[in-house]
Amino acid sequence: MDRMSCTLSPLVYAELYRLLAADNQRYGDLEVRLSEIGYSPTWLGTAADAYDEYWAMQLDLSGTGSVEHITLESPEHALLATWILAGLRNTGDDRSLSSALRTHVQKRAVGEVPDLEGRLPSVLNPVIYGWTLGQVVGSSSSDWPVAPASLPDDVNLVAAYQGLVNHILTLENMTEPWPEMMQTSTYWRGYGIAEALKPEAGSGGRALLELLSEARALLSQPVFSQFNTHFTRFGGRRNALSHITDDAGRSERFVDVVAATHGWEHLRVTVRGLTQFVCQEASRLLYEEDRPPALRNDPWEYLVREISTDWWT
């Protein structure tokens, strides 16, 4: 994976906007958010229909053997979707919407692409973290690692997160047990990502506490409790890995940390948590700051041109 790119199928956008159009609980928040770009909630149905028509056309033209190539190249499709999702940050946990989106996309893809076998291609594998739309880029059946549709502007942070994603993709192709440093290196990278997300905190440990605090309102209680337990010990474990000699001032020894942090299950919590922190920061920026330049002039006016089916008969 040479660069971070969220390139999804038009089927994903059709199902996302249809789910949002049917979300009566969030109708008011969606109405407010869409009004900022001059749209009403009825636009969601219009957009869903347009993406659906484009998906059907491309499927007919391409055949069932190349469904992974039916994508939307303009990044503004994903950016607009995430900008809309960011307006729902104050409505609670996004996991139910994310789960519904993946389920609906999978059901339709399997039903409409007869030769589709095994795990869906990445372009048909969306996920929502921290109210940011993303694309699952791994080969496992999990919902990570993720290429988010939007990232903060810090080039160092983007490079560091991309390095983490590439690391996970490498581990997916390796058999366990992994070399010890292949596992524990996520502590150094994760600590650094936290510092980059919250540089004003002064340290990775304090940054993690701030990120956890912000995540509380965006996660279900069980998931938050898991992250809280994991990341409140993160800094101490990172120090034990950096300073190998036993120290009475540290709660865990180097050998204990190495023994406790091996395997996918432990790594899963680290990567999911860091993905949550990066994505929630991306959606926070879209929610609190000025609209990105690409969305300042009626974005649908030019995006719909890319998915036009008027020429096809």
- Whether 162 and 170 have beta carbons less than 8 Å apart is answered as no
pLDDT at 12 over 90: yes
* The pLDDT value given to residue 312: 63
Confidence of residue 189 (pLDDT cuts 50, 70, 90): very high
b/e map 97-117, b = 16+ CB within 10 Å: bbebbbebbbebbeeebeebe
Which region among 98-107, 139-148, 149-158, 261-270 has the lowest average model confidence (pLDDT)?
Answer: 139-148
pLDDT in tens, 88-100: 999 999 999 999 9
Residue 99 C-alpha from the chain's centroid: 13
Q: Which residue bears the tokens 């973290």?
A: 129
Token pair 């929610």: residue: 287
Report whether 194 contacts 204 (CB < 8 A).
Answer: yes
β-strand pairing of 126-129 with 146-148: unpaired
Give the residue carrying structure tokens 């109708």.
27
DSSP 66: G
Nearest in space to 132 (alpha carbons), one of 81, 175, 82, 84: 82
pLDDT on residue 80: 98
- How long, in residues, is the chain? 313
Mean pLDDT over residues 201-213, rounded?
96
> H helices within 63-117, ranges in order?
76-86, 95-112
30-79 confidence digits (pLDDT tens): 999 999 999 999 999 999 999 999 999 999 888 656 788 899 989 999 99
Q: For 1-15, 196-210, 215-229, which range has the lowest pLDDT when averaged over its residues?
A: 1-15
Q: How confident is the model at residue 251 (pLDDT cuts 50, 70, 90)?
A: confident
Tell which wins on pLDDT, 263 or 283: 283
CA distance 54 to 60: 10
Residue 207 pLDDT exceeds 60: yes
Q: What pLDDT is attached to residue 141? A: 67
The pLDDT of residue 116: 79
Q: What is the mean pLDDT of residues 22-30?
A: 97
Mean pLDDT of 238-257: 92
Q: Quote the tokens at residue 149.
A: 């549709």
Q: Rounded mean pLDDT of the chain? A: 93
User: What six digits make up the tokens of 248?
Assistant: 């009475």
Q: What ranges do the domains of the chain cover?
A: 10-306
127 has which bridge partners?
134
Looking at residue 84, its amino acid is I
Q: What stretch of H or E contains 155? A: helix 155-172
| pLDDT above 90 for 257 | yes
